[in-house]
């Protein structure tokens, strides 16, 4: 079924449900705001692009999606591929790749390809997720440590070599802000799991940096003022040659968007005892990425950690996700000046923790206890993601994985243990 879940939930909607959705949507918005900014910066984009993606993508994922509680937006899974596209083809190339990926997702949803995720080996997903986590962590070292360097290479070994060469420029103030942010996030999660600790931690440490006039970069200092309105929709710049070059990247974006959104929906199903509509979810991802590309946004998918936050905060229907997008829009319109004062070391700490959670260290022992084929797939996919290319990693990993399972039955979706993004 491709019918959006919101049409089903509206039949029995009540005032109590509306209140629960509004409270949950507001809570998720406070978590999504700093994450969207940090992900955009780590991807090599302007922080405003992250906000636009969270607003437009988040709205359409909820409005057209097949899950009651899915929250959409930019996620860490896209950082590697987005950074590579921007580095090679510029931001216009990313917009075109996102547009192309949206068409792939719409076609996949139309032909009911949602259940095909059960054929993708979990070891491959875990492998490229851990690889992405390593790349994200490496990309945040500069701001986490406050290092001064003109340009950081994209390739990980060259990046680490460059950062090591400028180690003497380490900024103690930036490092202190980053470490305090980490400590606050971890502490607040343990003390009050339902509290938007990410937002509070980043706000508190950014306020400390401003109050004591610490020498740390802020969003405004590096990128300028944030916009106070959404861009006017327009078609991406198109050329046949560029589209041909971007096709592998567009396929990768579509694959990541489809896999992560469906895994997130599965996690939500377990938490609420529901059943999502996979084909409606793919269609929603296609619509959301199409809308995001039209306003110059980044790729969109279902965000597992934000979806879980929505459920824990009491979200019951897609209205919570729609309200979360509207709250971020309101903050961009009326609080952009204050958002621009967020400290970059604090956002770097946020992404460092995101990378750690993505790698799922509590499951490493379980991964190693799997079959030799699965261990090989995980390690191969991880190495290819870190040292070669995410597109190559996914292509090789999925091909070998499917070949090894040619005569095996599809994996039970209930057995998936997707990473916490």
Pairing, β 301-302 against β 72-73: antiparallel
Predicted TM-score of the model (pTM): 0.90
pLDDT score at 2: 80
- Beta bridge partners, 73, equal 301
What does each of the 421 residues of the chain score in pLDDT, given as a tens digit? 689 999 999 999 999 999 999 999 999 999 999 999 999 999 999 999 999 999 999 999 999 999 999 999 999 989 999 999 999 999 999 999 999 999 999 999 999 888 777 778 889 989 999 999 999 999 999 999 999 998 888 889 999 999 999 999 999 999 999 999 999 999 998 998 878 888 999 999 999 999 999 999 999 999 999 999 999 999 999 999 999 999 999 999 999 999 999 988 988 998 899 899 999 999 999 999 999 999 999 999 999 889 999 998 999 999 999 999 999 999 999 999 999 999 999 999 999 999 999 898 999 999 999 889 899 999 999 999 999 888 899 889 989 988 887 655 555 544 545 455 4
DSSP letter for each residue of 81-118: HHHHHHHHHHHHHHHHHHHHHHHHHHHHHHTT-GGGGG
Q: What does the block give as tokens for 312?
A: 């824990």
How far apart are alpha carbons 393 and 396 in whole angstroms? 5
Q: What does the block give as tokens for 234?
A: 């327009």
How far apart are alpha carbons 179 and 187 in whole angstroms? 12
How far apart are alpha carbons 62 and 281 in whole angstroms? 9
pLDDT score at 255: 94
Residue with tokens 């068409």: 103
- Sign of CA pseudo-dihedral 202, 77, 103, 44: positive
Q: By the 8 A CB rule, do 151 and 359 touch?
A: no
Around Cβ 122, how many Cβ atoms within 10 Å? 19
pLDDT score at 407: 59
3-class secondary structure per residue, the chain: CCCCHHHHHHHHCCHHHHHHHHHHHHHHHHHHHHHHHHHHHHCCCCHHHHHHHHHHHHHHHHHHCCCCCCCEECCHHHHHHHHHHHHHHHHHHHHHHHHHHHHHHHHHHHCCCHHHHHHCCHHHHHHHHHHHHHHHHHHCHHHHHCCCCCCCCCCHHHHHHHHHHCHHHCCHHHHHHHHHHHHHHHHHHHHCCCCCHHHHHHHHHHHHHHHCCCCCCEHHHHHCCCCCCCCCCCCCCCCHHHHHHHHHHHHHHHHHHHHHHHHHHHHHHHHHCCCCCHHHHHHHHHHHHHHHHHCCCCCCEECHHHHHHHHHCCCCCCHHHHHHHHHHHHHHHHCHHHHCCCEHHHHHHHHHHHHHHHCCHHHHHHHHCCCHHHHHHHHHHHHHHHHCCHHHHHHHHHHHHHHHCCCCCCCCHHHCCCCCC
């Amino acid at each position: 079924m491709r019918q959006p879940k919101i049409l089903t939930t509206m039949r029995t909607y009540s005032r109590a449900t509306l209140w629960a959705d509004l409270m949950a949507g507001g809570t998720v918005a406070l978590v999504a705001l700093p994450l969207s900014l940090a992900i955009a910066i780590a991807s090599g984009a302007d922080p405003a692009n992250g906000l636009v993606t969270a607003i437009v993508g988040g709205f359409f994922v909820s409005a057209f999606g097949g899950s009651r509680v899915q929250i959409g937006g930019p996620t860490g899974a896209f950082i590697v591929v987005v950074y590579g596209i921007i580095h090679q083809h510029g931001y216009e190339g990313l917009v075109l790749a996102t547009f192309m990926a949206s068409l792939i997702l719409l076609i996949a949803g139309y032909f009911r390809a949602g259940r095909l995720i059960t054929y993708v080996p979990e070891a491959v997903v875990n492998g490229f997720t851990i690889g992405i986590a390593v790349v994200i962590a490496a990309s945040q070292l500069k701001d986490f440590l406050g290092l001064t360097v003109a340009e950081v290479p994209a390739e990980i070994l060259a990046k680490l070599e460059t950062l090591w060469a400028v180690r003497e420029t380490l900024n103690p103030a930036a490092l202190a802000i980053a470490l305090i942010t980490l400590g606050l996030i971890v502490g607040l999660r343990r003390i009050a799991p339902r509290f938007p600790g990410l937002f509070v931690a980043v706000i508190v440490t950014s306020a400390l940096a401003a109050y004591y006039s610490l020498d740390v970069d802020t969003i405004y200092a590096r990128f300028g003022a944030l916009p106070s309105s959404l861009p006017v929709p327009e078609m991406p710049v198109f050329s046949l040659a560029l589209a041909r070059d971007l096709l592998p990247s567009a396929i990768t974006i579509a694959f990541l968007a489809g896999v992560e959104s469906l895994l997130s929906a599965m996690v939500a199903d377990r938490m609420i005892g529901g059943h999502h509509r996979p084909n409606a979810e793919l269609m929603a991802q296609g619509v959301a990425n199409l809308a995001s590309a039209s306003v110059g946004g980044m790729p969109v998918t279902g965000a597992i950690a934000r979806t879980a936050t929505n459920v824990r905060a009491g979200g019951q229907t897609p209205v919570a996700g729609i309200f979360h997008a509207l709250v971020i829009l309101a903050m961009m319109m009326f609080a952009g000046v204050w958002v621009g004062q967020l400290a970059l070391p604090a956002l770097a700490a946020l992404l460092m923790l995101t990378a750690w959670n993505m790698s799922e260290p509590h499951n490493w022992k379980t991964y190693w206890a799997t079959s030799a084929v699965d261990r090989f797939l995980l390690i191969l996919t991880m190495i290819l993601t870190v040292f070669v290319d995410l597109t190559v990693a996914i292509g090789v990993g999925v091909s070998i994985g499917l070949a090894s399972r040619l005569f095996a039955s599809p994996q039970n979706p209930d057995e998936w243990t997707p990473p916490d993004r």
